[in-house]
Amino acid sequence: DYELCEEWGHLYPVPREDLINLHREHLLHLLEVGNMEKALQLLQRIEDPGVCLAISEQSLDQHPNLAASHFLVDYLTAHFYANLTTARRNEIQALYIGSKVLLTLPELSRVNYFHLSSRPLLMLEQLLMNMKVDWLAVAVQTLHQLLAGQEVGFTVEDIDNLLSKYAEKALNFPFTLKEKRS
């Protein structure tokens, strides 16, 4: 049906917004079923770069699955990096890094943290609060590797500050310990 609608769009004038919506839904469908090859072909068929950028960004904003997010982030970075604002670049890079961190977690637990994939620092904080120290260690190691030379709106120092803050809280006792006298 998507391909028929696309052919119709070549034969008759279709409003730009409707064309963007059609291609976005088609792209999300292809990514959902894991057909990255056809998704790439679809994006390459779109002649107007502005429409292609809008479709890619809107698709990413729909928070598709992990593989689809990686595909869209890679595509946007490779083809439209210069067209993106600094804030949007940081947002896209944070989503990429967050999804990489998500991949370090056990597969069955990823669903619990997926909503935080665009906010890696918050994901680390959630892991700390849930006492998932083993997972956190792997996630922090991955973040240190990924942040080398990247600008994503946070730094390795921000991660270290977060860990220090929670370490301090773990050692903070709100009462004094009394000694037993014999």
Instruction: Tell me the per-residue pLDDT of 43-101, one tens digit each, with 9 for 90 and over.
Output: 998 888 998 999 999 998 888 888 888 899 889 988 998 888 888 888 888 888 888 88
Last residue of a domain, one of 84, 117, 134: 84
Q: Tell me the one-letter amino acid at 99.
A: S
Q: What gap in Å lies between CA 42 and CA 24, rounded to an integer?
A: 10
Instruction: Identify the pLDDT of residue 56.
Output: 92
Of the three residues 39, 56, 84, the one that is the final residue of a domain is 84
Residue 37 domain-assigned (yes or no): yes
pLDDT of res. 82: 87
% of residues, the chain, pLDDT over 90: 15
Mean pLDDT value of segment 137-157: 80
Tally of CA atoms within 13 A in the half-sphere of 131 that contains its CB: 1
pLDDT at 154 over 80: no
**Is pLDDT of 33 > 70?**
yes
> CA-to-CA distance for 37 and 175, rounded, in angstroms?
61
Q: What is the pTM of this model?
A: 0.72
Instruction: Give every CB contact of residue 138 below 8 A, 6+ residues apart in sequence.
Output: 104
Burial degree of 109 (CB within 10 A; 0-12, 13-18, 19+) = middle
- Whether residues 138 and 161 share a domain: the answer is yes
Domains in the chain, number: 2
Q: Give the residue numbers spanning the domain of 56.
A: 1-84
Q: Is the pLDDT of residue 22 over 90?
A: no
The answer to whether the CB of 39 falls within 8 A of the CB of 30 is yes
Q: Does 6 share its domain with 80?
A: yes
Q: How confident is the model at residue 179 (pLDDT cuts 50, 70, 90)?
A: low
What is the average pLDDT value for the chain, to the nearest integer? 85
CA distances from 32 to 66, 69, 71, 176 (A): 10, 10, 11, 56
